[in-house]
Every structure is written in structure tokens, then in C-alpha cells.
A and B are shown apart, each in its own frame.
Chain A
Amino acid sequence: MSKKTFRESINEAIKQEMRRDENVIVLGEDVAGGAGTKGDQDAWGGPMAVTKGLAPEFGRERVIDTPITESAIIGTAAGAALTGLRPIADLMFVDFMGVCFDQIFNQAGKFRYMFGGKAVTPLTIRTMYGGGLRAASQHSQCLYPIFTHIPGLKVVIPSNPYDAKGLFVQAVRDDDPVVFFEHKMMYDDEGEVPDELYTIPFGEANFTREGKDVALISMGRTVNLCNQVADEIKKDNISCSVLDLRTLSPLDEDSILEAVEETGRVVIVDESSPRCNVATDISALISDKAFSSLKAPVKMITPPHTPVPFSPALEDLYLPSADNIKKTISNILN
């Protein structure tokens, strides 16, 4: 056990799974960098250096730099998965899903069903999401609700380095296509991560804080915002539980209902655009299955329904904030 960053924990998960199983390969734009040139090899390791060091250890046959064509990356990976490999495809920014979405939702996501359960698609798609990098509206979206909407896809969204490694190993070993969401502002977050391989099953949400007044439900990076708020308002004698969903599909409905029953007040924090997102989905679930436990209306903290602003001042206003969460908590308590 030692301290590792989010970046290191995913790198280690990929490396250890590649050592364990020779069918695991990595492909994407600049996942190594320098392919076919006389220059620096393994120059990049992806835009955030998550895959750095893989090419020297496993060779170019298993760490494949692709052309700048998302449809080719995902199409190749889906076919490779169908024929026996366990590819890890790097979609880089989730904002680019538009050009390869057919392969994801109508091909990879459907193979098992269209071939009567006789075909499996052990494909892991890594992708970056979220605001905060001042990267403007074409490189800052969340978009995980779109993938969550599609039956046949599994959607994973870790909030810390320990979960990142365990969920990633599970994704690689899973026989269905898994979309693995990494918030681009989290790569330097640190936490205790075992050196050994381990898995975390999909569909098990995790209580990161215990409390009895209000339940904060969230996913990915905003879980940390909720933890921070829960810690800060303890001194005002308000006790919040925080539920980290970990996976959006499958969704751990039981833990959501448990959180509602324990507190009666719920604030859902979701960084994705507010129409048809995870917050609205959970809110609907709660009003359907836990209405009688509620002591106050379910509150949702999301950005406004606009593209992510490029102006740093506006982007900060756009994203869910600790202040916002605190105000909402105090409103539903009074």
C-alpha cells in the first residue's frame, strides 16, 4: 500500500492487467507517441501521460498509436474485442464521441444481444470528461448521461485513486463494453492504493461519509466536493452522508434508497447538463420508490443548460460549487 495519484493508479492497473493477460492491448491517439518517426519514442503516453511507459514494456504491437480518427479507434477495438482480445481504447476527450458513437452504441453495445448471447465484447473505452481546464465548450462536457441511457453499455465514473484502480481492473475483466470516465482535473489527486491487483464490482455505490440530516448523492469529481462540504458543515451541527455512485450503469438503486431512508433529505450533485442527466434520473427514482421517506423536496445541483463557457470567471460560476451545495442544504433544513 502506498500513496498514488489517480493517474498512477490507472497506469498501474493497465500495466498489471497487461502483464497478467497477454490479450489486453491499448490503442488510441498518442497512447505512446512517436510511432513511425525517428524522434522521441513514448513521448506522450496520452494527453495526460496516463499510458506512459507501456510501449517500452509491452511493445508497439500491444500499445498502438492510431491515426486521428475516433471511428477507426473504436471500430478496431470493438472488432478486436469480438474476436478474442481485451482492448483498452482511448477516446481521449468524450466530446469526440460524436464521430464514433455508432460503433459504441449500435455495434459494441449490441453484439451480445444480436448474436443471441454467443458473442461477448470485452472492450474498455477510457475517456476524459468535465470542466475546469479552461478548455472551452468542445473539450469540457460530461456526456456520461448519454452512455448511461444505452442498455448494453456499462458506465463507470470513479471519484478517487483507490476506486479508479479497482474499477478499471474490473472493466478490463468484464465481458461487456465499459465506458470509463476520468475527470481531467483529477489526475493529480492522491490516495492510498494497494500495489496488488484487486477489483471493485460494478453496481455497488459507496458511502464516503456517514450522516443523518442530509444525503449528498454524486459521482466522479463532484463526490470530493460533497465530502468537503460534509466535513465543513459538521461544525454547524449538520451531519451529511455522501453516496458515491461509482457506476451509473449498473446503478445501485438499493444504496440510493438506503441513503434517502436514513436522512429524508437529498441533494444530488451532477456536473452534467441538467436536462435528462443522472440527477434527474435519481430524483425520479426517489420520488417513485422512497416518496414516503422524504422530509423535503429532492434538490439537484447541476450547471445551467448552456455550453461550458470559455471565460474562466463564467466557467467557475457554471460548475457546481461548495457554496451552492451549502446554500441548498441550509434551504431544505429550514
Chain B
Amino acid sequence: MADSIIPIVMPKWGLAMKEGSVTSWLKNEGDKVNKGETFVEIETEKVVNEFESPEEGILLKKVIENDIKVPVGSLIAILGNENTDTNEIEKFIEDFQSNFTPPSDDEEDSNLEKIIQIKNIDINYLQLGENNSKNIVFVHGFGGDLNNWMFNQEELSSNFNTFSIDLPGHGKSSKNIDQGNLEYLSDIVKDFCNQNNLEKICLVGHSLGGGICLNIALENSELVESLILISPIGLGKEIDNYVEEFIKSESRRDLKPQLEKLYYNKELITRDLVNEVLKFKRLDGVEKALQIIKDGTLIENNNQKTFLGDKIETLKSKISIIWGENDEIIPNTHIKELPSNIETHIFKESGHMSHIEKSKEVNEIIVKLN
């Protein structure tokens, strides 16, 4: 039987998250919730996602109302068993609330991010779980940043030494780049691993980052022990015009339909999320940097410029390739062209961003491969 009182608090998804709100409850008070079962939807400034219960129990009380923003760590619900006394619940909530202090604004979490100089440009990165021995390096896709791994990195950092980086021209890394071909981007990531003395790493790459990781693994089998590619470039010709349209879109109205192509669940694209992306796009130098990477690595004559599929048989690293069934950017049919001995996964109800829309499943695959 479950403990009599199991507090459920507002989770912290990614470093930028300071507060969140409940958008809807998927269970009613009195319902049983299994461990790992999603029972509430939580909205942050960046994204709406389902929250999985850390424990098993009966949902005894919803402590906060819908759509009210509360700081990370606030009590949002009580789980427990059917014998728990109502007074005991009330007393627990009262004690919790009187002892709770929200994380102060001065605690600049983003200080955990660090800048390292590689090939004369600044590369911003985040390391979590430094006491663990096995290394994971996350590489995001075109137009993204290290926050794209908010549902993966923190979770996996309990067992792995994890790094996520902002690619050149992205996030908080330098925007003034003069080349954007695959060799250059691969060298940046490889040098990053070397400068941090990382060996036998697991590379996790999404889309553009997937192509970069595959390229590194093909040429440096001693460095890359395992490889996870999520909707990667480089395995086929077709690609949506997203890349061109993303660069071109200057307003919220133009950008929103483009970002909607990334997800199966279009409701994830809130005005706030579009504004966050616009904030990045409007920094001086970003448009030019994106254009350089587009021309250098991504697009040639409306098709993908990079093709690595013919070399994949020579790959020595362990590999697993993940795709969303509803990917509108790069078709998941590219999986079919691969040699049959390669492990592949296609997730239902998932678009181009499986590491966000199917984070739990993706994390399980990463753990299993290592």
C-alpha cells in the first residue's frame, strides 16, 4: 500500500523554468495513479507537457487551481492511500505551505551554463551530473538550443555525466560565424568533447544535430561509443521548406505555422513559445548565421545537401534511430533505406521533436543503449 501522504510538487523542466501552472487534471480526486502514469498537464513559459507521477497512490487532493502560476517546488497535489485522514491531509498542506520558500530570483540558475572557446568562437554549454562516469553529449537541431533537451538532460543526469551545447549561431553561442558546413560544425562538437577530455561518449543528436553526430561517429569510432539520432538529416533527400521559412519569418504570425510543423500536438505552440523563438531570431547576427548553416550543411536545390546514408554500414558505434510517425520536416520513410541490422523506433503521435513529445520513451532508449 502507498504511503499515507505523498506530496507532488511543481517540477522543474529545464533551467529557465521558474514557475508553472496546471492546465488540466487527467485524474479526479479519489482516482488511482500508477507510478509513471501521467495525471496532470503542466504549462511552463516554454511548453505544455504531461507530468508523470513519481509514485503510486490515490489522488487525494488537488492543491492548486488551474491556470494559477506557482513557483517551482510548490505543492500541487497530494497522493496517498484510501485510509489517509482528511485532517492529516489538511495539516500536511498547512505545514508544507508555512515552511515553503520559493527559490529566490537571485539564484541565477543560468550560471550553470558556461562558455568555452572553440576555434575562436564562444560555445555555450550546460553540464549536469558531473560525478557520473558515463558521458552523454546532446546536440540540438537547426534554430534550436540546449533548452530543447529540458525533458532529457536533467532526468538522465542522475546516472550520466551529461553535456548539452548551443551550436554556433544558436542559443548563447557566438553568432558571428563565417562557415557552416558539416565538417566545421562536427569539428566544433568534436573539439568540445576533446577539450572536456570526454572519452567513449554517447552522442544524442536531433535533426541537424543528428547529422553532425553521425558524421563525427563515422570518422571517430574511438570517441563515440553509442549514437542516438532523432529525426536526423543526412539519411535521405527530402526535407520540408521549414528551414527557409524559419529564416524568413519575422513576425509572430509568420513564424507560428512554421513552428507548428515541428510537433504532432499543435497546441504546444503557444504565443509565448513563438515569442521565445522570435527573441532568439531578432538578435543581431542570427539571421546571417542561420543562412550560413543552411547553405553550408542543410539545403541545396530544395533538397538535403548532406547525405551520409551510404556510409552508415561502416559505422562502428552502437546506434539507435528514432523518428516521429507524424514528422512533417523530414519524412520517417528515410528509416526504410537503412540496413536492416540498425535499431529503429517510430513513435505514434509524435512529430519532428520526439525528444520533447515522447521524452520518457526517448530517455528509456538512451538508457538501454548504454
**A-chain residues with CB within 8 Å of residue B67 when the two chains form the complex:** 234, 239
Q: Across the interface, do A210 and B250 meet the contact criterion of CB distance under 8 Å?
A: no
**A-chain residues with CB within 8 Å of residue B250 when the two chains form the complex:** 201
Chain B proximity mask over A183-209: 1 for CB below 8 Å, otherwise 0: 000000000001011111100101100
A3 vs B253: C-alpha distance when bound (angstroms): 28
**B-chain residues with CB within 8 Å of residue A22 when the two chains form the complex:** none
Q: Interface size on A (CB < 8 Å)?
A: 20
**B-chain residues with CB within 8 Å of residue A234 when the two chains form the complex:** 67-68
Q: Across the interface, do B284 and A198 meet the contact criterion of CB distance under 8 Å?
A: yes
Q: Which of B191-199, B216-224, B275-283 contacts A (4 or more CB under 8 A)?
A: B275-283
A57 near B: Cβ within 8 Å? no
Chain A proximity mask over B75-109: 1 for CB below 8 Å, otherwise 0: 00000000000000000000000000000010000
Q: In the complex, what's the smallest C-beta–C-beta distance from B285 to chain A, in angstroms?
A: 8
**A-chain residues with CB within 8 Å of residue B69 when the two chains form the complex:** 231
Q: Across the interface, do B253 and A198 meet the contact criterion of CB distance under 8 Å?
A: no
| 9 pairs of residues in contact across A and B, judged by CB atoms under 8 Å | A162-B279, A194-B279, A196-B283, A197-B283, A198-B279, A198-B284, A201-B251, A204-B252, A210-B271
Chain A proximity mask over B60-78: 1 for CB below 8 Å, otherwise 0: 0000010111000000000
A121 vs B66: C-alpha distance when bound (angstroms): 51
A1 near B: Cβ within 8 Å? yes
Q: Across the interface, do B68 and A210 meet the contact criterion of CB distance under 8 Å?
A: no
Residues 260-312 of B contacting A (Cβ, < 8 Å)? 270-272, 275, 279, 282-285
Q: A196-B283, A198-B282 are in contact. Are A210 and B251 (CB under 8 A)?
A: no
A206 vs B278: C-alpha distance when bound (angstroms): 12
Q: Across the interface, do B282 and A200 meet the contact criterion of CB distance under 8 Å?
A: yes
**A-chain residues with CB within 8 Å of residue B271 when the two chains form the complex:** 207, 210
Interface centre among A197, A198, A231, A254 (most CB of B within 10 A): A198
Q: Across the interface, do B284 and A1 meet the contact criterion of CB distance under 8 Å?
A: no
B314 near A: Cβ within 8 Å? no
Q: In the complex, what's the smallest C-beta–C-beta distance from B157 to chain A, in angstroms?
A: 23
A196 vs B122: C-alpha distance when bound (angstroms): 13
A196 vs B69: C-alpha distance when bound (angstroms): 29
A118 near B: Cβ within 8 Å? no
B110 near A: Cβ within 8 Å? yes
Q: Across the interface, do B270 and A199 meet the contact criterion of CB distance under 8 Å?
A: no
Q: Across the interface, do B252 and A166 meet the contact criterion of CB distance under 8 Å?
A: no
A130 vs B175: C-alpha distance when bound (angstroms): 39
**B-chain residues with CB within 8 Å of residue A196 when the two chains form the complex:** 175, 283-285
Interface centre among A162, A194, A235 (most CB of B within 10 A): A194
Q: Which residue of A lies closest to B275 (CB)?
A: A206
Q: In the complex, what's the smallest C-beta–C-beta distance from B62 to chain A, in angstroms?
A: 15
Q: In the complex, what's the smallest C-beta–C-beta distance from A217 to chain B, in angstroms?
A: 15
